[in-house]
Amino acid sequence: MTDDYAGGRLTIDLGALQSNWRTLSAISPASECAAVVKANAYGIGTAQAARALAEAGATTFFVAHPSEAKAVREASSDAVIYVLNGLAPGACGALAAIRARPVLGSREEIDEWTAFVKATGADEAAAIHIDTGMLRLGLGPDEAQELLPRGLGFRPSLLMSHLACADEPERPETEAQRAAFVELQRLLPETPASLSNSAGTLLPKTSGGDLGFDLRRPGVSLYGSMPVAGRPSPLKPVVRLDARVIQVREAPSGATVGYGGAERLKRPTRLAILSLGYADGVFRAGGSEDGAPGATAFAGDAPCPFVGRISMDLIAVDVTGAGEVKRGDWVEILGDHVGVDALAGACGTIGYEVLTSLGRRFARSYVG
């Protein structure tokens, strides 16, 4: 079966991806702009994204798992690749074979990598992750103070931490993390340092100083999502999703639509049924109920509100005011009228989750 009969078309603009990397790189030109391509490059395809970003000028990439590092290495033979989720037990040889660098965040990981380097005699670099307030991964400040001054048995190529609240600029925690990072950076003064994620890249300063350091690690912003709410976005949309209309029907006032009869129609309504559902990553929370609107699709320039609950494979939208909409037409779910963050807001979630949840049943194409 070919993609000609898919219920959804996902179009990925690699030119927009490259443009976003250049935009983010220009914000703090004294600091290298890396690219985070974990989670299948936020849903758009690891190999395709890595190749496009390398062509744009990115030389350093971050992934979460060794399998993702392998995909990036296959796409770029000379990229510097860091594995954010640390060092899985016994994984030293596998990472060294593809020239991927683990981000070490515990005493156990540091000891295992040190033993591997000593045993093989290889010059294998790795990053050190210190925790400045996220309480997720990384050496605590006391551990860092104990371990790092005594010297490491390998070449530390990066000292990094991760911002917890940078998407809320008024929060004081970001400046507290920056100050803590500066203090701990003194333990490895010759090692390049990295603190900023997407939000820290887009808002590169706090009251106390610059967040850029030597290298920034934007992720979701590369793919067109603006992680800082209420700010104008300099980013281009990277993904477009269109859904196929499989039936158009007339419904009388007072009729209920979908599971549970969650929405009762207030007027005679023309409904288009789309071949798309929560199995494709359009979250069930984006449906509507009486008195509570949901997400909105577009037929051309005409808004078409979701009607009733989203099913696994189907969504009903109101096309009463959309002109001629017929079986076989395509309706925009993400695109010129509906950005990733707008759809996320309608579904009560964030752009990260929308992008990484886009389903496997779509017909995918790459442009740009």
Confidence of residue 199 (pLDDT cuts 50, 70, 90): very high
Model pLDDT for residues 300-331, shown as the tens digit of each residue = 999 999 999 999 999 999 999 999 999 999 99
Asked if 339 contacts 252 with a C-beta cutoff of 8 angstroms, the reply is no
Positive or negative: CA dihedral 65, 66, 69, 70: negative
Rounded CA-CA distance 155/275 in Å is 53
Which residues are known catalytic residues?
38, 259
pLDDT (0 to 100) of residue 2 = 58
Model pLDDT for residues 27-56, shown as the tens digit of each residue = 999 999 999 999 999 999 999 999 999 999
Domains and CATH numbers, the chain: 31-223 (3.20.20.10), 239-367 (2.40.37.10)
Rounded CA-CA distance 318/249 in Å is 10
pLDDT above 50 (res 1)? no
Rounded CA-CA distance 195/263 in Å is 47
Residue 81 three-state SS:
strand
pLDDT (0 to 100) of residue 151 = 85
Residue 348 three-state SS:
coil
Across 186-204, average pLDDT = 96
Which two three-digit tokens encode residue 19?
Answer: 């443009």
Asked if 316 contacts 273 with a C-beta cutoff of 8 angstroms, the reply is yes
Model pLDDT for residues 74-96, shown as the tens digit of each residue = 999 999 999 999 999 999 999 99
* pLDDT over 90 percentage in the chain: 95
Residues near 149 by Cβ (< 8 Å), separated by ≥ 6?
Answer: 187
Asked if 312 contacts 278 with a C-beta cutoff of 8 angstroms, the reply is yes
pLDDT above 90 (res 62)? yes
Across 195-224, average pLDDT = 96
Residues near 129 by Cβ (< 8 Å), separated by ≥ 6?
Answer: 86, 103, 104, 105, 137, 138, 139, 160, 161, 162
How high is the mean pLDDT of the chain?
A: 96
Residues near 345 by Cβ (< 8 Å), separated by ≥ 6?
Answer: none
